[in-house]
Structure 1
Amino acid sequence: MEVHINLIVPQYVRGIVEGNGTPPDGKIWLTYSMNKEDMWVASVPVPVTSIVNEDVKDVFSKLPNGKELEFWNTYDLSWASAKIETKEGEKYLTLRDEDPFDYPRVERVIPFAEKMEASFTIKPEQDNHGMLQVEFQNKQGMPAIRFIFDSDGNLKHKAGYRLRNIMPYEAGKEYAIKISLNADSRSYTFSVNGGKEIRGIFFQPVDGISRIMFRTGEQRHYPNPDTPVDTPDYDDVPFTGVSIPEAVFNIKSLMTKKL
C-alpha cells in the first residue's frame, strides 16, 4: 500500500540547544521549512505570554525605541515586511507588501472582553491597489468584525456575507476608527475621524474578543485537508519571481478599553 501525506505545516524544526549558547536577546530562535520548500526563522520571547491583563495603549511614537513590538506577534517576509518605521518624525508599525502570494501580518493580544472600546489609526500610502484588513478575533483566532481598506479606494466593513462601503479613503491621510462592541448582542458601533456613528453586527458569533489583527490580504483557506495532493495538472505556481506594485499601510496607534 502506498500512502501520501500532505503536510502544510512547519517541518524539521531546529532551535537553540544546550551548548549553543544563550542568544543575546534572551529569546528562543527556531528555524524550519514550510511545506518542504521555504526556510523560515522565528524568534519567540520567553516566558511565552498568551494572556494580558492591561488595556492596550500602543502609540508607537511614545513607546521606547526597540520596545514597540514587545507585545505583538509579527509575520515578516522579504517582499512583505512588518517593521517600525519613522516618517516625518512619527513612528509607525508599517506593513509593506509586494508579494503576489503572501502578506505581512501583525497581531496584538488584548485583555479578553465581552464588551470593549477600541481605536486604531491607519495611514495608507496609496488608494488604487493593495488591501489592509483589520480583524477583531476571539482567543482561537475566529474573527467577528472586519474592516477593509480595499484596493478600489473604499473603506469597508464586513456585513454578513457582503462588504458594505463606509467611505472613500485617500493616500497620505490618517483615518482614526473608534469602535464599541458587545459580544453578547453580537453588535458594534464605530465612527471614522469623529464622524457619524455607524452600527454593525458580528459576521460570526464569538464569546468575546482577545486579539486584534492587521494583514494586507485575504485570509487564506487553501490548501486544506480536502485539497487533492496528486492531480494531473499539479505544477509550480507561475511567475513566482515577479513582484506586484508595493502597497504600504502605516499603523499609528492601537488603544483598547475593557468595559
Structure 2
Amino acid sequence: MGEIICHVCQKECNEQHDGGYSTVPKIKHYQVTRCSRDKEKPERDKGTFNHSPMLAYIFNKFYLSYINNPISETIPPSRTLLKTSIDGEKWSSAIELFPPYKVSFNKYCLYANMHHRMGFFISKRRKLYGLGFYGLSLNTEEFPNNGKGIGRVIREIQPNGQLGEIYFIRYNLHAGWDEKNTIYPYYLNSKDLEFINDCEELLSNKLLTQKWWEEDRSKDGFYSIEDGKAFTYYQVSDLETIGFWKWGKASISQDKGLTWAPLTKQPSIVTAGGKCWAEKITNTKYALVYNPTNDNTHRWPLAVTTSNDGKNYYGMNCLTNWVSPRKYFGLHKYYGPSYPTGLTAGSDPPPGHYTWIVYSMNKEDIWLSKVDLYNNHSFESANRDEFENWGFIQPKWGEIKLIDNHKGTISAINRDPYEMLMLQRWECGRNKGKIQFEFYVKNYNKRNVQLELLDTNNQTLVCLYYSPEGTLVIKDNLELESLKTIRYRVDAWESYSIGWNDNKASIKLIKSEFEFSFGLGDKLIGSIVFKINYTNLPITKKTKINSSDLINADYPTEPTSFLVRNFSRVE
C-alpha cells in the first residue's frame, strides 16, 4: 500500500504536556466523569478505573459509554456505564449498560472483564444499540482482549432511556463459549424479528466488525484481516477505505473492507499503544487524533493533524495541553489523555460545525472536547467579545458560564482539589496589539489563580499569581522567578490593559496604578490564559506509574472563582 504521510510529525514530540504544538483555538473541554470514592455515591460510580469511552449522537442527544472497574484495568468486577447529554456539557448520572458477569476460574477471575472496541451501533432503521465484550483476565498482567473471552453482547437503547434485553451477538466459540454455558440468550432466539435483522445488518458490515478482531481472535474466516488493535477508518471514495490501528499501523482496502493490503507500520506516524481516531470531517478534510509519542505509559499530548486527501497530513496541533494529577492508584493506569474516539458511524450531525472527541485522562476520568476542525488551525482572533471565541477546560466540580451577555461577563468557579480550570482567548500572534478587560478574583481556598500570556507555542511569557492573601506575584517566562510582588484588590474589579509592539510588552493595572514592562524577544503573543490551578503536582515522563493515591481527592473543596468582563481588542 502507499504510505500515509504525516509531513510534520516524523519524530517524537517533546516532553511538555502540549508536546510543543500550538493548541487548536477555541477548543472546549468538559469533564464528563470525575472518579471518586465518595461513600455517598452509588456503588457503580465508585470505581476509579474509567476508560475506553465511546460516543454517539442520535435522538437529539449524546450517548457516552465507558468501562468502569473498581481500581485496576485487569481486576474485575467490571461493567459498562452509560451517560447521556443534550448539549455535551451537562451529563446525566451513569446507568449500567452491561453489568458484571460472574465466572469462576481462580482468585483473580471471579468475574468477566469488560472490553470494547465498538460501543455503539446505529442501524438503518435508526435504532441505537450498545455493545460490549465480556473478556477474561486470568491474572493481573493479562488483558481481556486476549481471545479467551466469552463473547460480544448487544442491547437496544431506546429514545426514552429504556434498555432492551441483553443478547450475545457473537460467541467466542473457539474459546469454548456458546449458548449452553452463557447467561444471556443468542440474538437469533429473540422474538423481535426487526432486532434480529439489525443484528444481521451489523454482522454483515465488514468495516464495523473489523473492530472486534483483537477481542475475538477467531480463525473462522469472519474477519477480513486477522491482525491489529483498535481499528478505526474512513472512506476516501465509494470503494477506497483507509484503516488505522495502534502503534502507527495502517492499510488500504479497495472493496469496502472485504480485503486489505498487508498491515504496515507507517514511519511518519509516531505513536505507541494509545488508540488513534480517524475521521472524515468533510469531503475534502480528514483528521487523525492520537498521542505523538513512543512512551506508552506517559501518553501526551493528544494531538490532531489534518489532510485534504486522507493520505498526506500537514500541520500538527495540540488538543489537550495539560495532564491532570492521577488521583488514584491502579494497575496499568497510564498517565495522560488517551483513547480518543469521535462519533460512531451513522450518528446524526450534532448542532454546529464541530468535531466531538471523547477520551480518558489517566484511565480514571472521562472528558469530551468540542473543537472546530472545519476551519484552518490559525490563531485568528475575533474583534467581538463572544463566548464562542473562548476556549476552556471545565472540570466536573467546576463551572464556566456567561452570566452577562451585554458586558460579556464570564464566571469561573473551581471546587476540585486537583483539577485545573482554564479559560483561554487567542490573539493570533500579531506584532502589535492591545487588549483590555476587567478581572475579579474571589479566592477562598489555598489555590493559585493565574493570569498568563503565552506565545504561539503555548510557552509562558509572563505569569501573574494571585494569592488568597491579596498578593500578586509576577514571574518570568524561564525559571518562573519572581520579578515583582504587589498587593492586589481582593473581591474587587480591576481594570487591565495589555499592549505590545514588536519585542516589548506592558501590563497595566489601572485602578491599582501599577505598570509592568517586559521584553518578548523573538516571541509573539498567542493567547491570554486565566486559570485556577490544581495542587502543584507536576506530571513528567519520570513520574512513576506505581504512585499511591492522592490525599483528600474524594470530595469537592471550598470554591475559588474569578470573573472576566468587557474583554476587547483595541485597534
TM over 0.5: yes
Alignment correspondent of 2:6: none
CA deviation after TM superposition for structure 1 residue 219, in Å: 9.4
Residue 213 (structure 1) aligned with residue 540 (structure 2) = no
Native 8 Å contact 2:498 2:507 kept in 1:
yes
Alignment correspondent of 1:81: 399
Which amino acid in structure 2 is aligned with residue 253 of structure 1?
Answer: N
Alignment correspondent of 2:310: none
Native 8 Å contact 1:116 1:181 kept in 2:
yes
CA deviation after TM superposition for structure 1 residue 45, in Å: 2.6
SS of the aligned residue for 1:177 comes to strand
CA distance in 2, matches of 1:177, 1:104: 21
Residue 69 (structure 1) aligned with residue 384 (structure 2) = no
Seen in structure 2, the aligned counterparts of structure 1 residues 168 and 24 have a Cα distance that, compared at 3 Å, is closer
TM-score by length of structure 2 reads 0.38
Alignment correspondent of 1:65: none
CA deviation after TM superposition for structure 1 residue 146, in Å: 1.7
Residue 21 (structure 1) aligned with residue 21 (structure 2) = no
Q: Deviations over 1:192-238 (max 9, x none)?
A: 23554523325x755211111111126977211122334xxx31112
CA deviation after TM superposition for structure 1 residue 131, in Å: 3.5
CA distance in 2, matches of 1:248, 1:5: 34
SS of the aligned residue for 1:252 comes to strand
Alignment of 1:6-45 (within 5 A): 6-7=298-299, 8-45=335-372
Q: Deviations over 1:30-80 (max 9, x none)?
A: 21111111111111234244324456442xxxxxxxxx3212111111112
Larger radius of gyration: 2
Alignment correspondent of 1:225: 541
Give the number of the structure whose residues are more often strand, by fraction. 1
CA distance in 2, matches of 1:53, 1:42: 20
Which amino acid in structure 1 is aligned with residue 469 of structure 2?
Answer: D
CA distance in 1, matches of 2:360, 2:347: 21
CA-based RMSD of the aligned residues comes to: 3.0
Out of 100-109 and 142-151, give the one that drifted further.
Answer: 142-151
Seen in structure 2, the aligned counterparts of structure 1 residues 192 and 16 have a Cα distance that, compared at 3 Å, is same
CA deviation after TM superposition for structure 1 residue 128, in Å: 6.8
CA distance in 2, matches of 1:183, 1:210: 13
Residue 255 (structure 1) aligned with residue 571 (structure 2) = no
CA distance in 1, matches of 2:560, 2:523: 34
SS of the aligned residue for 1:70 comes to helix
Native 8 Å contact 1:79 1:98 kept in 2:
yes
CA distance in 2, matches of 1:128, 1:241: 17
Alignment of 1:71-220 (within 5 A): 71-86=389-404, 91-126=408-443, 129-159=446-476, 161-171=481-491, 173-182=492-501, 184=503, 187-193=504-510, 196=513, 198-202=515-519, 205=521, 207-217=523-533
CA distance in 2, matches of 1:166, 1:69: 31
CA distance in 2, matches of 1:54, 1:162: 30
CA distance in 2, matches of 1:195, 1:246: 25
SS of the aligned residue for 2:526 comes to strand
Native 8 Å contact 1:127 1:153 kept in 2:
no
Seen in structure 2, the aligned counterparts of structure 1 residues 116 and 36 have a Cα distance that, compared at 3 Å, is same
Which amino acid in structure 1 is aligned with residue 339 of structure 2?
Answer: Y
Number of matched pairs: 240
CA deviation after TM superposition for structure 1 residue 249, in Å: 0.4
CA distance in 1, matches of 2:539, 2:473: 27
Which amino acid in structure 2 is aligned with residue 240 of structure 1?
Answer: A
Residue 235 (structure 1) aligned with residue 555 (structure 2) = no
CA distance in 1, matches of 2:531, 2:346: 38
CA deviation after TM superposition for structure 1 residue 142, in Å: 0.4
Identity %: 18
TM-score by length of structure 1 reads 0.79
Seen in structure 2, the aligned counterparts of structure 1 residues 25 and 54 have a Cα distance that, compared at 3 Å, is closer
Native 8 Å contact 2:434 2:570 kept in 1:
yes
Native 8 Å contact 1:144 1:205 kept in 2:
no
SS of the aligned residue for 2:428 comes to strand
CA deviation after TM superposition for structure 1 residue 115, in Å: 3.0
SS of the aligned residue for 1:85 comes to strand
Residue 244 (structure 1) aligned with residue 244 (structure 2) = no
Native 8 Å contact 1:56 1:254 kept in 2:
no
CA distance in 2, matches of 1:49, 1:69: 20
Q: Deviations over 1:78-108 (max 9, x none)?
A: 1122221249x85521110111101211111
Alignment correspondent of 1:61: none
Which amino acid in structure 1 is aligned with residue 526 of structure 2?
Answer: S
CA deviation after TM superposition for structure 1 residue 16, in Å: 1.2
Which amino acid in structure 1 is aligned with residue 415 of structure 2?
Answer: E
Q: Deviations over 1:158-199 (max 9, x none)?
A: 25611522333121x210111223452xx4333223554523
Which amino acid in structure 1 is aligned with residue 367 of structure 2?
Answer: W
CA distance in 2, matches of 1:43, 1:32: 12
Alignment correspondent of 1:64: none
Seen in structure 2, the aligned counterparts of structure 1 residues 218 and 158 have a Cα distance that, compared at 3 Å, is farther
Native 8 Å contact 1:157 1:163 kept in 2:
yes
Native 8 Å contact 1:50 1:109 kept in 2:
no
Seen in structure 2, the aligned counterparts of structure 1 residues 135 and 20 have a Cα distance that, compared at 3 Å, is same
Seen in structure 2, the aligned counterparts of structure 1 residues 108 and 157 have a Cα distance that, compared at 3 Å, is same
CA distance in 2, matches of 1:251, 1:143: 20
Seen in structure 2, the aligned counterparts of structure 1 residues 197 and 236 have a Cα distance that, compared at 3 Å, is closer
SS of the aligned residue for 2:388 comes to coil
CA distance in 2, matches of 1:133, 1:10: 23
CA deviation after TM superposition for structure 1 residue 121, in Å: 0.9
Native 8 Å contact 1:55 1:257 kept in 2:
no
